[in-house]
Chains A and B, each alone.
Chain A
């Protein structure tokens, strides 16, 4: 194929205008030659014979007349065995490998193969003469804790026949292991690695189904009150310092899924470092192996080039869809989607597009919904199910949720976990506001019961607000007890101590068990003399409950502490 070329005619920030000599494709990747380095860029607009390209690197040193090569391919990632445990930048360059070549700094124009050409034990699952289509699996390799299915490229059109396929044995990731042919007699060599454009959603399944199974996070407030379903979407907006990232780290550790993909998009590099140092040492209770074995990190922190930040969330979701098509449950955590939106805003500004609200581009909402719509639970062709769950944090300017990114996100997600400054200032963690937040998914506890508990939270909160005006004296004992009940729910159930080895991760069984005790308390009437009596009684109850929460279930004290709590409840309960 003839090389497609062009040359630079203008530079403005990270956007470069290129006059092209042959046809170009919108969103195809091109390389700008600056001295002896090639800078990766993407065509984002074509006007009057000029292609506007966003450069994924710093643009210093580019001059008018510099040569540009077009690749003819859309921005893509490589998918295959060897992705898990890796740390990539937004364009799928493995960062540890880059540092081996370039040292401390990220040199521009250095691109490294994302998937190492390792040897894998291949087992064919199809035979010569079989028909396959896009996304069909024709063999497997064992990758860490999973059986990794080797699939035909998702870009295949029509039906193909297997002409030859390798026998069971060890092959390198890039070896040709299967040759296919279509009706027209065209042939294709397939290896274990396929390329997939990041902005095209992976199909290759039978149908999408409704997300109906809760994704357990072991965080009580989420699982019980604000559940997330496998294949669902949720967002976590909050001001800085409210604990968005800590909450995501906890979720990435404890979530009951097979693969976790963390997209650190435009946030602090230090936070990624914590995951990098921590995860290899933490053991996943489900598999008994290190947590890193089920994790992929896409890390395009705030000081890395902004265009690659825009690409990073797509890189992450494409990998998530790939593992989903193996029948696995994948959780994608994007921190933060606001930075991704800001990257779009920067580009839109350079293109001199007419700005929308707060200078965000008019297509902000459609981009956000396109992204979240890539989540979902699917039934695969072999009848098994796979899912991609997306959880995105939002960093609203000034902590005010009435801004474009939060609002556009709220329209498309299935659950909203709004973090509040008041709760984080009061050190009430997780700082999710139980009253503002909502979820449309079914959780681990019947909705009726959850609603009943919610009633007390809401009512107690109202009493508390009123008490601030009329004082404790002006509040009736009855209301005061409702308020105490609300405080109890907050202290022993909504809040969770992430530093406590027992309380930090609570299993479904235990949540159900504890919740029923709590519900019993809420439903009961108590024989209390006055407010002081009520306060003391509930304070003691709270202490007993927290002690119980902090006790391992296998521990002999568990039953003892439960008994102490129950006795305390019974001591004043009205019959």
Chain B
């Protein structure tokens, strides 16, 4: 039995993967490598007779062929106790905040999938105070939704805002390849707002070893699942999933796997799906909602990462030019909830988007030098009001106020019969002069 025994003959070191000879090692188990006095964890990713390939979390750099490897006989685990709240960890699950190490209530990461027959149809809205989300593409409990964004857009600010305002019990932030500044930003913002006390952060920064990046989603989601089973509403924020995919790519290429599309491994879809599908509403217990960030290299939605993500998630938010685009953004589950909010919600949502689309046409006509009709002028006025009073990410109002604001904008720009809204709704909600 190799458990506990120390092996000192490392046969090969390629990238972050080392190979040692050992017997009785189980696939997926952890090992501890002592290299130059420093310890790092590694997990078994391949077995071939007595040759064991391990992925070293701290990276292959500086590992000597004479370093010692000790097999721990357990798979990768993470603590899921209440004491985790308010704490910050790195991608290997070690404290980043100088607090004590967590060893209680350890659970395995990357656990089995939920039985589809036990899933229920999601039905609760998550309020964020952002009209473009609450009113137009409602976020639903247990939804999995990415924010598609170009680098440079304020996606982390958006995530932080949602984290602070969302009415949930526990927030788990998984940071992958975060810039150190962004990490500090998250920490300070959550601290200031008081949300940190019910937040757990797993943060891998851009300067940390690549392998740790690939562990962040699994750890975040394993802990989230545990809390959800205990009846908590959990919101998991993952930023940035493109970095996660790039880390997978790096490992796959080192392992000499045949790449499929732009160098990404052939199992990219399955790898993403097994994470995103952790979003669930447990009947009689809590729920896991996942909001991720996927940066699109070159604003290209057909890039393998956003493309595979789009096939898995239940819609997407497009973040462009500092606001959530009304076109292209989609919450596939909004129909489940927006029928029960207020009777004008659905009609107003559709009506305002149709008018905004007409505004875009008028804008195009104007830019091409065509003359503007009365109707065009009205639309131009409407479009500007819509953008500044509802689309702007600074706007922070509850859904009901957003709906009222919508009616106000309509009444300032149009006659009731120009809005194509149902007469009964107009009678009920059109602001009286």
Binding site for B on A (CB under 8 A): 8-13, 17, 58-65, 87, 95-96, 98-99, 102-108, 239-241, 266-270, 272-274, 276-277, 299, 301-304, 306, 339, 342, 345-346, 349, 352, 355, 358-360, 395, 397-400, 425
B26 touches A102 (CB 8 A): no
Known: A10-B46, A61-B26, A349-B266. 17 other contacts (CB 8 A): A64-B47, A64-B50, A103-B118, A105-B114, A240-B307, A268-B312, A277-B121, A303-B277, A303-B278, A306-B270, A342-B269, A345-B260, A346-B270, A349-B257, A359-B258, A359-B260, A397-B302
Closest B residue to A61 by CB, please name it.
B26
- CA–CA, A448 and B265, complex, Å: 49
**B315 partner residues in chain A, CB cutoff 8 A:** 241
B118 touches A104 (CB 8 A): yes
**B259 partner residues in chain A, CB cutoff 8 A:** 359
Q: A64-B25, A301-B113 are in contact. Are A12 and B46 (CB under 8 A)?
A: yes
**B48 partner residues in chain A, CB cutoff 8 A:** 9-10, 12, 17
Closest A residue to B116 by CB, please name it.
A269
Q: A301-B113, A358-B261 are in contact. Are A63 and B25 (CB under 8 A)?
A: yes
| B226-268 contact mask (Cβ, 8 Å, vs A): 1 or 0 | 0001000000000000000000000000000111110001110
A104 touches B282 (CB 8 A): yes
B112 touches A400 (CB 8 A): no
- CA–CA, A60 and B44, complex, Å: 9
Indicate if B420 sits at the interface (CB-CB under 8 A). Answer: no
**A303 partner residues in chain B, CB cutoff 8 A:** 113-114, 273-274, 276-278
Indicate if B314 sits at the interface (CB-CB under 8 A). Answer: yes
Tell me the smallest distance from the CB of A274 to a CB of chain B, in Å: 7
Interface residue from B111, B114, B258 paired with A269 (Cβ < 8 Å): B114
Indicate if B373 sits at the interface (CB-CB under 8 A). Answer: no
**A9 partner residues in chain B, CB cutoff 8 A:** 48-49
B28 touches A60 (CB 8 A): yes
Indicate if B27 sits at the interface (CB-CB under 8 A). Answer: yes
Which chain B residues in 29-57 approach chain A with CB under 8 Å? Answer: 29, 46-50
Indicate if B122 sits at the interface (CB-CB under 8 A). Answer: yes
B119 touches A270 (CB 8 A): yes
**A102 partner residues in chain B, CB cutoff 8 A:** 115
Tell me the smallest distance from the CB of B134 to a CB of chain A, in Å: 21
**Count of B residues near A, CB < 8 Å?**
58
A266 touches B46 (CB 8 A): no
Q: A11-B46, A342-B269, A398-B307 are in contact. Are A104 and B26 (CB under 8 A)?
A: no
**A268 partner residues in chain B, CB cutoff 8 A:** 277, 312, 314
- CA–CA, A22 and B108, complex, Å: 37
- CA–CA, A24 and B61, complex, Å: 44
**A107 partner residues in chain B, CB cutoff 8 A:** 112
Indicate if B95 sits at the interface (CB-CB under 8 A). Answer: no
Tell me the smallest distance from the CB of A315 to a CB of chain B, in Å: 15
Indicate if B147 sits at the interface (CB-CB under 8 A). Answer: no
**A273 partner residues in chain B, CB cutoff 8 A:** 116, 119-121
**B111 partner residues in chain A, CB cutoff 8 A:** 105
- Report, nearest first, the 10 A-B pairs whose CB atoms are least far apart: A398-B302, A302-B273, A303-B277, A60-B28, A359-B260, A240-B310, A95-B117, A11-B47, A303-B113, A10-B48
Q: A58-B112, A104-B114, A273-B119 are in contact. Are A339 and B269 (CB under 8 A)?
A: yes
**B23 partner residues in chain A, CB cutoff 8 A:** 64-65
**B258 partner residues in chain A, CB cutoff 8 A:** 349, 352, 355, 359
Tell me the smallest distance from the CB of A19 to a CB of chain B, in Å: 9
**A355 partner residues in chain B, CB cutoff 8 A:** 258
23 contacts between A and B (CB under 8 A): A8-B47, A9-B48, A10-B46, A12-B46, A63-B25, A63-B27, A65-B23, A98-B115, A99-B115, A103-B118, A104-B118, A106-B115, A107-B112, A240-B310, A240-B311, A272-B116, A273-B119, A277-B121, A342-B267, A349-B258, A349-B265, A349-B266, A359-B259
- CA–CA, A276 and B115, complex, Å: 13
Indicate if B304 sits at the interface (CB-CB under 8 A). Answer: yes
**B49 partner residues in chain A, CB cutoff 8 A:** 9-10, 64
Indicate if B24 sits at the interface (CB-CB under 8 A). Answer: yes
- CA–CA, A434 and B314, complex, Å: 27
**A87 partner residues in chain B, CB cutoff 8 A:** 116-117
Indicate if B15 sits at the interface (CB-CB under 8 A). Answer: no
Q: A99-B115, A106-B113, A302-B269 are in contact. Are A241 and B47 (CB under 8 A)?
A: no
Closest A residue to B255 by CB, please name it.
A12
**B276 partner residues in chain A, CB cutoff 8 A:** 303
- CA–CA, A107 and B113, complex, Å: 8
A106 touches B269 (CB 8 A): no
Closest B residue to A359 by CB, please name it.
B260
- CA–CA, A265 and B291, complex, Å: 24
A306 touches B267 (CB 8 A): yes
